[in-house]
C-alpha cells in the first residue's frame, strides 16, 4: 500500500472518528462518564472508563528478520574480453569472403582475402631481403676462405661481414613487417599468398559482418566483422543509485530469463562497476555464466534477484500507520493506555503490512487498530 492509498484510507477512518466523537466528547461532555482521552505534552492518555479503550488494539511489534532482496532488470551480454573486432591493416579489395553472419569459426580459420598493393609490396620486400641476405652470406663465406688462405686483406673480410650484418638487419625488418600483416615468412604455404589473409583470432561466432566480396576497404580503422566467443557470457543488471552498495562481488543471485522463466539460474555476482553510468544513473553489475551449449544469447532479457543482508527493522500492520501531512507515524505505548506519536521511515510494503526501517524497536507496543481515533 503506497502513501497515497494510506491517505485515502486514513480519510475514511477520520470520518468515522468524527462520527464517533459526535457521540463522545473528547474532554468529557455533560453526562459522559469519562473523557475519550487527554493530551499532556504530546502524551495521549485514555483514562479508565474511556469508550476508546474498547476500540484500541495494542500489540508488540516483531523484528523484520530474514534476508532482504533486490530485484533488478538485466540482459545477457557477451563477455567484452571475448569479442574480437576484425580490421584490415591495409587498404585493398575483398577478393574472397569465406564466412557469413552466424557462422561458427575456429581459431586461425581464414575469414577473407584482400588484394592489397601495400601487402604485395611487403611480400616483395621480404623476398628481396631474403635473397640479399643469402647472397651476403655466400660473399662472407668466400671472404673468410680467401682470408684463411692468405689471399686477401683484413679489410675485405670486414667489408663482407658488414654487408652480411646489414642484409640480416634488413631481412629482420622485412619479416617483422610481413608478420605484423599476418603473412608467413620463409618456406611455402597459404601464408605466402600475394593476397592479404584475414584469419579468426579466436574460436566463436561471426556476429556482425560489414563487407562483401568485391568491396573496397579504404579505411583501416573500420570494423569489417566481429567474432564473438559465447562459451562464457555475462548477465548484466542495473542497480538504481538509491540501492548502490547492496550488490557486492560474491553476492548470491537468482537469474530468471524472459525466454525460459521455468528454469532459474543460481549464480554469484562476479563484477561490480566502481562508477555510476552518467546517462542512466545506475550501477552495472555482472554475473559470469558458462554457456557451452550456446543457450544464452546476447540481448536476451532477464530479471536478477540478489540476496541482501538481513532486512533489520520491524514489521507493523498497515492499520498501525497514521498519515500527518507528509509524515508517517505510529502511536507507541509508553505506559499502560498512554501513547506517544512517533514518526517512522517505511521501507517495503504489502497490502497488509509495512517494513519500518527506523523509528521503532522490536518488542515496542504500538496501537495496531483504532489509532485514527487518537490522530487529531
The mean pLDDT of 339-353, rounded to a whole number, is 88
Half-sphere exposure of 186 (CA within 13 A, CB side): 6
pLDDT for position 220: 87
Rounded CA-CA distance 31/102 in Å is 90
pLDDT for position 68: 61
Q: Is 232 helix (H, G, I), strand (E, B) or coil?
A: strand
pLDDT for position 21: 47
Higher pLDDT, 126 or 307: 126
pLDDT of 205 strictly over 60: yes
pLDDT of 70 strictly over 80: yes
Kindly list the distances between the CA atom of residue 292 and the CA atoms of 17, 114, 205, 232, in Å, as whole numbers in the listed order: 66, 33, 13, 7
CATH 2.40.110.10 assigned to domain 3-66+314-374? The reply is no
Paired strand residues for 63: 314
pLDDT for position 89: 92
Rounded CA-CA distance 128/123 in Å is 9
Closest C-alpha to 69, from 317, 247, 287, 262:
247
The mean pLDDT of 357-363, rounded to a whole number, is 89
Q: Is 113 helix (H, G, I), strand (E, B) or coil?
A: strand
For the chain, the domains span: 3-66+314-374, 67-116+196-310, 117-194
Higher pLDDT, 331 or 146: 331
Q: How confident is the model at residue 6 (pLDDT cuts 50, 70, 90)?
A: low
182: its cell numbers? 599476418
Top-tier CATH class for 67-116+196-310: mainly beta
pLDDT for position 190: 45
Higher pLDDT, 12 or 240: 240
Q: For the domain 117-194, what is the CATH code? A: 1.10.287.470
75 contacts 172 by C-beta, under 8 angstroms: no
126 contacts 170 by C-beta, under 8 angstroms: no
Q: How confident is the model at residue 336 (pLDDT cuts 50, 70, 90)?
A: very high
Q: Is 317 helix (H, G, I), strand (E, B) or coil?
A: strand
Rounded CA-CA distance 318/333 in Å is 17
Q: How many CB atoms lie within 10 A of CB 210?
A: 11
Amino acid at each position: 500500500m503506497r502513501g497515497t492509498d494510506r491517505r485515502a484510507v486514513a480519510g475514511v477512518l477520520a470520518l468515522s472518528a468524527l462520527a464517533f466523537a459526535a457521540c463522545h466528547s473528547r474532554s468529557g461532555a455533560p453526562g459522559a462518564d469519562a473523557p475519550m482521552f487527554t493530551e499532556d505534552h504530546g502524551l495521549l492518555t485514555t483514562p479508565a472508563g474511556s469508550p476508546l479503550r474498547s476500540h484500541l488494539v495494542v500489540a508488540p511489534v516483531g523484528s523484520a528478520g530474514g534476508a532482504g532482496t533486490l530485484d533488478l532488470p538485466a540482459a545477457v551480454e557477451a563477455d567484452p574480453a571475448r569479442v574480437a573486432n576484425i580490421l584490415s591493416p591495409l587498404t585493398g579489395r575483398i577478393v574472397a569472403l569465406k564466412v557469413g553472419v552466424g557462422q561458427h569459426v575456429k581459431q586461425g580459420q581464414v575469414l577473407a582475402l584482400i588484394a592489397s598493393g601495400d601487402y604485395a609490396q611487403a611480400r616483395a620486400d621480404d623476398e628481396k631481403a631474403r635473397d640479399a641476405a643469402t647472397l651476403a652470406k655466400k660473399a662472407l663465406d668466400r671472404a673468410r676462405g680467401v682470408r684463411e688462405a692468405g689471399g686477401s686483406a683484413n679489410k675485405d673480410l670486414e667489408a663482407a661481414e658488414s654487408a652480411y650484418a646489414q642484409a640480416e638487419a634488413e631481412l629482420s625488418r622485412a619479416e617483422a613487417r610481413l608478420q605484423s600483416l599476418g603473412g608467413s615468412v620463409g618456406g611455402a604455404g597459404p601464408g605466402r599468398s600475394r593476397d592479404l589473409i584475414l584469419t579468426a583470432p579466436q574460436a566463436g561466432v561471426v556476429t556482425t559482418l560489414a563487407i562483401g566480396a568485391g568491396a573496397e576497404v579504404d579505411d583501416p580503422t573500420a570494423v569489417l566483422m566481429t567474432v564473438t566467443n559465447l562459451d562464457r557470457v555475462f548477465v548484466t543488471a542495473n542497480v538504481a543509485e538509491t540501492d548502490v552498495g547492496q550488490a557486492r562481488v560474491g553476492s548470491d543471485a537468482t537469474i530468471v530469463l524472459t525466454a525460459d522463466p521455468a528454469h532459474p539460474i543460481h549464480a554469484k555476482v562476479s563484477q561490480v562497476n566502481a562508477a555510476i553510468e552518467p546517462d542512466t544513473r545506475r550501477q552495472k553489475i555482472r554475473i559470469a555464466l558458462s554457456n557451452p551449449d550456446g543457450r544464452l544469447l546476447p540481448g536476451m532479457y532477464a530479471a536478477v534477484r540478489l540476496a541482501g543482508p538481513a532486512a533489520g527493522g520491524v514489521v507493523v500492520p498497515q492499520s498501525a500507520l497514521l498519515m500527518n501531512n507528509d509524515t508517517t507515524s505510529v502511536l507507541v505505548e509508553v505506559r499502560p493506555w498512554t501513547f506517544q506519536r512517533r514518526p517512522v521511515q517505511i521501507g517495503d510494503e504489502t497490502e497488509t503490512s509495512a517494513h519500518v526501517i527506523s523509528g521503532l524497536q522490536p518488542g515496542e507496543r504500538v496501537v495496531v487498530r483504532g489509532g485514527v481515533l487518537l490522530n487529531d
